[in-house]
Structure 1
């Protein structure tokens, strides 16, 4: 397995320090997983814009580096969240570099393009999807390792880092699929339902030590993952009675709210952000 790699991104000479001196997260250190693209990249950018020192982590190291280069004082890490050792080392490196960890937003995750294609083909033919009988163990395990096990690895490492300071905020990214459990997507729905339950259980434990854990559950969102969704399946999400696909920035704004002081009384919350497709 790959070892954790990180680079310090040199701070620009055009007022980067001044930018860090103001904003909701001024003086705070924030680790963002999945920061190389999509929601994670949007979160990293917004945190930096609000004054945070960002540690951008992604399995795609060059992508994380590209994001970090645009943010004053940022660090970039190559991290596979499914590997507990890599997650722990990345948190250790963040602590070594900055001395503390105040915010973690865990946005890393995967879907299953093949299962999506099977669902789209069924929709196009007017037949019910038939996925569970065709789903092999490797596809199930991949989704679980990254989405559920990865969340456990990040939560554990983050709580360990934050408890000594008796403060911190962790935000996990779940999914509305955990709540409506779409037909033909059992492994993804199960993995994200696990993320919700895991986050809520850890939230009840961690708050005794001053650490808040909350979850955003997005609906359809314009990311690289969504771009790989077959057209027939995307059309199924296109409903004029609800909001269109969310932007990554809109979901990032919710994550920052949960990570910020304004949400001080939110612990173990799962905020459904699906544009009105359904309520719970």
Structure 2
């Protein structure tokens, strides 16, 4: 920012131009969010106070945030929080940034529950590799009588998930366990969900800097073919689920058929599996139902 006094509107336009010139995907949104953080104003405040001049301290805070974004740090990391399913989630270095595509897991799981007429039943849900707790807590927010357990090998991630559960008023209906996927759980469960690591290890270096430099590597790396996590968790899920229960997992582009095959190998018959696409039309979730008795 220059030494000449500028107002909020001028600063926001200048920051948007700066971000656009740097090739950022959403320069206007990024500028608005970082302006709000620097000035502690929501969108309404930014609009109504648009003519207010920035102080030197305001400009310094804004420039510091802008430099972090221009260096490739995602806005959610800078702010330490991200919205998912209309809920606010705190982040940490041990958690992925929840992405809109992952809401497809929540949608598929809820459609299964609605199809069984059990929305108001006391369901047991397991979220394997819960990270920030986003999938589990989104489901609990929609299923008022249900209880969920989130697992993760990262104790730091579990602390973040627990904090999010408490902040969202769901702390009494969620528990968190340190283990690899479902290795420390015993059933039965009605629903198992997961967004496991699925990026082939050799592809990680080619990911966008926002991902490869800021998301935890072990939450990305799915092994040589990206399927290691599914080979571990799908048989575990099959053993945990009660008859008629379901497992829903997020998958990477081109992986749906392979994951469906792993479900078949674990005992989910072909007519009880389903593939759901995200908003871009990419197959994003594979859901398998355990055969009823």
Output the TM-score relative to the length of structure 2: 0.42
Tell which structure's C-alpha radius of gyration is larger: 2
Instruction: Point out which structure has higher relative CO (alpha carbons under 8 A, 6+ apart).
Output: 1
Output the TM-score relative to the length of structure 1: 0.44
